[in-house]
């Protein structure tokens, strides 16, 4: 399953053993670590891919992508934060928080 910034606030179902890919549209995002021993496991570190063409310095053009494996059943939160939005401006009114609740269910149901 692939998610983006437009999925913030959603609850998404994932089958145990499945993968979840979250790609956020600014290089200023930082993913919070998932709980150790929980139902999700990060697959490597988050990848930052800057977009250099047609980008004003300080704008954060590019993406940050994190991948997760659903290793158990239950719920987990995928969270990311940023303090800078757009052209080096501070984020306001919830622009700096990303949360998605993940509901992992058994593949046999």
Q: Rounded distance, CA 6 to CA 8, Å?
A: 6
pLDDT grade for 94, boundaries at 50, 70 and 90 = confident
pTM of the complete model: 0.88
pLDDT at 88 over 70: no
Q: What is the pLDDT of residues 22-74, one digit of tens each?
A: 999 989 999 999 988 889 999 999 999 888 777 766 677 889 999 999 999 99
Do the Cβ atoms of 34 and 78 come closer than 8 Å?
A: yes
pLDDT recorded at residue 37: 84
* Domain of 70, in residue numbers: 2-105
Distance separating alpha carbons of residues 8 and 27, to the nearest angstrom: 17
Q: Using an 8 Å Cβ cutoff, are 69 and 43 in contact?
A: yes
Task: Report whether pLDDT(7) > 80.
Answer: yes
Distance in Å from the first CA to the final CA of the chain: 18
Report the CATH number that the domain containing residue 6 is assigned in CATH. Answer: 2.60.40.2020
User: How many domains, the chain?
Assistant: 1
| CA-wise closest residue to 13 among 106, 103, 107 | 103
């Amino acid at each position: 399953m692939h998610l983006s910034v437009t999925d913030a606030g959603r609850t998404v179902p994932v089958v145990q053993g499945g993968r979840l890919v979250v790609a956020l549209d600014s290089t200023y995002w930082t993913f919070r670590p998932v709980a150790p021993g929980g139902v999700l496991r990060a697959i490597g570190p988050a990848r930052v891919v800057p977009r250099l063409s047609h980008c004003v310095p300080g704008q954060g053009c590019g993406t940050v992508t994190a991948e997760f494996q659903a290793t158990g059943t239950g719920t987990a939160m995928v969270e990311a934060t940023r303090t800078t939005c757009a052209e080096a401006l501070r984020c306001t009114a919830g622009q700096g928080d990303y949360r998605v609740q993940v509901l992992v269910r058994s593949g046999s149901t």
